[in-house]
Structure formats: structure tokens, C-alpha cells
Structure 1
Amino acid sequence: MQRVANCILMHEGQILLLKKPSRGWYAMPGGKMETGETIKEAAVREYREETGIHLREPQLAGVFTFNIFNQDHLDDEWMMFTFVCKEFSGELNAYCREGELEWQPLEQIAHLPMAAGDRKIFEHVLVSNKILYGNFAYTKDYELLHSRLDPQQMDNG
């Protein structure tokens, strides 16, 4: 099972996002955990590698499992640990090999193209300080099949 950590950095009414070139979808900067890292260390390292920004005191906001299906066959399974942070240091990289880094106003987040699961995570994080736990099932083409979320405010089936 693959493990990834990412972070939602909020600053002056904006969120720093990564626009991935493959689909044109926006995502939270982050990536794969390395052996021996804590989830927080992975989130801070990956964020710094992609953005040039050093997160200060990120807080865990969600823990998620993802199942990717090819028809009825489970193709891939991974876990994602999402942090939220409001304090940082450093300068934003001019270039990121993963895509384009963009500050987006909070009120635009709901209108940006992104994975359906990421949208549900943002919907929760922008209105609640509770940790969100969830499971997302996707097709191999990243169409959301269903999700289960706790606290249960946005489940679909």
C-alpha cells in the first residue's frame, strides 16, 4: 500500500495549489512517504521539495484510504495523510516539475477542476477543525465511485 502526505497551506485568504499537467486538475502539494519518516515529516519534506516553502506546525486534518478499481478488480490501494498549515517560511519556487504552483482565493476552490475526493476534503477542511477520516473508491480513470466520510457530512453512495 502506497502512503502519501500532503498539505493545504492557507495564507491571507488563499490556498497554494499545484495544477497537474496531465488532467489540468488542482491538487494539494505533497507526495510519497519515505521509509522511516513520520507522516508529518513526509508532508513537510514533500511540500518543501515541490514548493520551496517550509511549513511551520502543520496540523493533521484528514486520513484517507483510496481504492482504485479496474471494473470489479482492485488495481491499487493507498493511504493519504492531509495536513493544514497557516504558518510558513521561504520563497515559492519559480518552477515545479510536478506542475504549476498557484495561489487560489478560498472562494474559488469549489470551482476549480480537481479530483472529486479532493473536493470533499476541501469542503470539510474549510469549515471544520475536526479530523476527517474517509475512504474513496475510484475507477482507473479517477471517476469517483463512492465515498465514506467521518464526520458524515458529505457521504455519497
Structure 2
Amino acid sequence: MAKADYYDDPEAPLANSLVVAVGAVVRDEHGRVLMIERTDNGLWAVPGGAQEIGETTRQAVLREIHEETGIEVELTGIVGIYSDPRHVIAYDDGEVRQEFAIIFHARPTGGAPRPSIESRRVHWVPPDELEALTVAPAVRLRLRHALEGRGEPYLD
């Protein structure tokens, strides 16, 4: 399903749903960040997705990362909680979500990078090369917060 990501855009459609999303900034032993090129919008992003009924937030993020990248991870902290109503995602079926995302810090524990139905490409990217990727503004903010080395999670 195709989607369009809007952040602080006066032309954005009005939200009609709110779904818990999870994701993680996964960094390997070299400090590189695990990034995916999404199949639904062609943008680069950290792996993640919607929490499903019957699973915990932890289970959801571990599942999403493995499904999208082939990498198994250990969660090491929380980057932040992002719920800005100016960030909406419009899907081609008419759903327009106000984003509510919990983003974690993580480190890889196993697996090998591989694409999936949701990820066209999966790469470990050095932090100084992240600016060159086409990334949605909300994802760029999350990456910045993760790489700043904050002592406390960002709360939106």
C-alpha cells in the first residue's frame, strides 16, 4: 500500500486514525546505522512499523526489525516518543494516521541484512553519510535525536 508522509504541511489531509508505531535506531559495533529503503514510498527510514494486537511494544519492534531487515537486535534504550499531530501519514486506502511512534536504541545480535516486501534495500550507513539519503523530516528528527547522545528520551 502506497503512502505519503507529511510533516508540518498545510496541504496535509486531516488525520482519521491513530496507530501505535515502533521503530529503532540500530547501531553496529562501528557506529553505523541500519537503514531501509521503503517499498511503499521509496524513502530511507529506520526499520519499524505498527504494533499488533496481542503483542507488547518490545515484541513489536523486535518483530518489525527482523521482518524488514533480517537483523535480530537487543533494545538498549528509548530515543523518544513522537506524537506531533503535525505529522500525518496518508495511505492510498483513505486512512490518514496521526503518527504516534516509540523509537528505541538497539544493537544487532544476529542475522544478516536482506530486503523484504517492505524494504527494497537494507544497508548499514555511517552517520556522516545519512544526510545524503532521502529521508522524511520526521525520520531525520529521530535520527538526529538518536545520534546526539541525549541523556533522556525525547518526549513529543
TM-score above 0.5, yes or no? yes
Cα deviation, residue 27, structure 1: 0.4
3-state DSSP of counterpart to 2:83: strand
* Residue 131 of structure 1: aligned partner: 153
- 1:71-93 per-residue CA deviation (whole Å, 9 max, x = no partner) reads xxxx4323111011124212222
TM-score (norm 2): 0.74
Q: Does the 8 Å contact 2:52/2:60 carry over to 1? A: yes
3-state DSSP of counterpart to 1:54: strand
* Residue 20 of structure 2: aligned partner: 3
CA distance in 2, matches of 1:81, 1:60: 8
CA distance in 2, matches of 1:103, 1:69: 26
How is 1:114-125 mapped onto 2 (pairs within 5 angstroms)? 114-125=135-146
Q: Does 1:96 align with 2:116?
A: yes
- 1:5-62 per-residue CA deviation (whole Å, 9 max, x = no partner) reads 1111111131110112444311011111011322111101111111121112342211
CA distance in 2, matches of 1:69, 1:82: 17
* Residue 38 of structure 2: aligned partner: 20
Structure 1 consecutive aligned stretches of length 4 or more whose deviation exceeds 6 Å: none
Q: Which has the higher contact order (CA 8 A, sep 6+)?
A: 2
Q: Does 1:52 align with 2:45?
A: no
* Residue 126 of structure 2: aligned partner: 105
CA distance in 2, matches of 1:26, 1:69: 15
Gaps of 5+ in 1: 135-157
CA distance in 1, matches of 2:31, 2:81: 24
Of all paired residues, the percent bearing the same amino acid is 23
TM-score (norm 1): 0.73
Cα deviation, residue 69, structure 1: 8.6
Q: Does the 8 Å contact 2:113/2:123 carry over to 1? A: no
3-state DSSP of counterpart to 1:80: strand
Going from structure 1 to structure 2, the CA distance change for 1:42 and 1:69 (only over 3 Å counts) comes to: closer
Cα deviation, residue 2, structure 1: 0.8
Alignment-mate amino acid for residue 131 of structure 1: P
Q: Does the 8 Å contact 2:71/2:108 carry over to 1? A: no
Gaps of 5+ in 2: 1-17, 91-95
Going from structure 1 to structure 2, the CA distance change for 1:35 and 1:128 (only over 3 Å counts) comes to: same
Aligned length: 130
